[in-house]
Structures are given as structure tokens and as C-alpha cells.
Amino acid sequence: MENTVRYHGVVKEVSEGHLRVAVMKSSACGGCSIKGHCNSAEAKERFVDVDDPRTLSYHVGQDVWVVGSPSIGWKALGYGMALPFFVVFISLFIFTTFLKSDLWAAICALGMLIPYYIILYSRRDQMKKSLSFTVVPFVENYN
């Protein structure tokens, strides 16, 4: 598992085929000696939903590793921010050439996000497979 990202988590919910794992997200300066006086050193609990047919082998409160590929973050960034930006940017140029009003061109360009997110929503099951994490039992020296 050399090309993976892993996070230590605790199982919060177990159902058939689905786990909800709490992962403690802390800032890089979490180990600083003055972290009690600094707002940037706050740690937050984040939840990760994992679909796995072996979920019934886990129990609530169990320590686990949440494992994923580094490309998951880049894919999510692309689908959530980069592609919508390019949709608006390109459609703004197209609508500006055909419409005389910049206001209507901007409104139409932003309106192009509606079909984009409808398509994204309709493909959520396919995306869930490509943007998924796995869970393995917690072992101290996991590599």
C-alpha cells in the first residue's frame, strides 16, 4: 500500500454495507506548545462514509485506518471546482459574443451550472465508486 493516504479514525455507525467513521482533522501546528492560545490549532472531527460489504465485521468504537488514493482529492477538486469554473468561463465568452448585454451573458453563463450539477447528480453512483475510501483494522505500524 505504498501509494495511499491513510487517516486514523473511529467507527461511529455500522449498518449493512455502510460505515460512518470519525476522523480527527487537526492543523499542522497541533503539536505546538502555544496551541491553547491560537485559533488555528483547533482540531475538528470529520466524518467519512465508507461503502464496504465487509462492514459487519467492524463495531462502533473500533479504531480503523481510512485508506484512499491520493488521486481522490484531485478528482473531487476537479469535479467540484475546476470543471464548473471552466464551464462558466467558456460559456461566458460564448454568450458574450452572441448577446449584447454583459449582464445577460453572465446570468446565462452562471445558468450553465444548473445542467452541470444535474449531470453530476445523475452520475453520483458512478462517482461514488471512483471517489471512495476503504477501511482496514487499526494496526500501529501499518504501511
Using DSSP's 3-state secondary structure scheme, residue 115 falls into: helix
The whole-angstrom separation of Cα 116 and Cα 58 is: 37
What was the pLDDT predicted at 126? Answer: 87
The whole-angstrom separation of Cα 140 and Cα 143 is: 9
In DSSP terms, 7 is beta-bridged to 66
In DSSP terms, 47 is beta-bridged to 22
At 53-94, the pLDDT tens digits run 777 788 888 888 888 888 888 888 999 999 999 999 999 999
Structural contact between residues 21 and 42, judged by C-beta atoms closer than 8 angstroms? no
The whole-angstrom separation of Cα 17 and Cα 35 is: 39
What was the pLDDT predicted at 29? Answer: 57
User: Residue 37: pLDDT above 70?
Assistant: no
Structural contact between residues 64 and 9, judged by C-beta atoms closer than 8 angstroms? yes
Cell of 92: 461566458
* Highest-scoring range by mean pLDDT, 8-22, 87-101, 125-139: 87-101
Residue holding cell 471552466? 86
User: pTM for this structure?
Assistant: 0.64
Residue holding cell 471512495? 132
CA atoms within 13 A on the CB side of 120: 15
The whole-angstrom separation of Cα 130 and Cα 143 is: 22
